[in-house]
């Protein structure tokens, strides 16, 4: 049998072993990163799905309310539909700020350590 080749590297960084990945995954630092992500993403996802389902249910079962004209040809259904897009963009913007402030620094620290830079 031939001797095993050394693990490939990426430039000046070494590639972590599976054992190193497992060790990091079980670390408190990674757990905190995961908690930070979940505490933001899960409640916001549930809230947005509830908001979307409210829109769908009102569209199906409250036609009179959704068809009520607010001004000109603009009715409640149109405003709610536009608000679906607005909330989608607001959530994306809010998440990018959250990720830049809370998630990215933690992830970068883990990545740097994994690549042997720390």
Instruction: Please state the domain extents for the chain.
Output: 28-114
pLDDT above 70: residue 8: no
> What pLDDT, on the 0 to 100 scale, is given for residue 17?
81
Of residues 114 and 51, more confidently modeled: 51
113 CB-near residues (< 8 Å, 6+ apart)? 24
Average pLDDT for 71-99: 95
pTM score of the predicted model = 0.73
> What pLDDT, on the 0 to 100 scale, is given for residue 94?
96
Confidence band of 4 (pLDDT split at 50, 70, 90): low
> What pLDDT, on the 0 to 100 scale, is given for residue 3?
55
Chain position carrying tokens 């430039």: 11
Handedness of CA 89, 60, 64, 44 (dihedral sign): negative
> What pLDDT, on the 0 to 100 scale, is given for residue 47?
96
């Amino acid at each position: 049998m031939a001797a095993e080749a050394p693990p490939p590297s990426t430039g000046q960084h070494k590639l972590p072993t599976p054992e190193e990945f497992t060790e990091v995954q079980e670390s408190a630092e990674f757990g905190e990163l995961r908690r930070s992500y979940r505490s933001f993403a899960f409640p916001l996802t549930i809230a947005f799905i509830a908001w979307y389902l409210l829109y769908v249910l009102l569209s199906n079962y409250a036609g009179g309310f959704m068809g009520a004209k607010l001004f000109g040809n603009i009715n409640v259904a149109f405003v709610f539909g536009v608000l679906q897009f607005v909330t989608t963009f607001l959530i994306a913007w809010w998440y990018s700020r959250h990720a830049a402030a809370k998630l990215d620094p933690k992830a970068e620290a883990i990545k740097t350590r994994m690549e042997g830079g720390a």
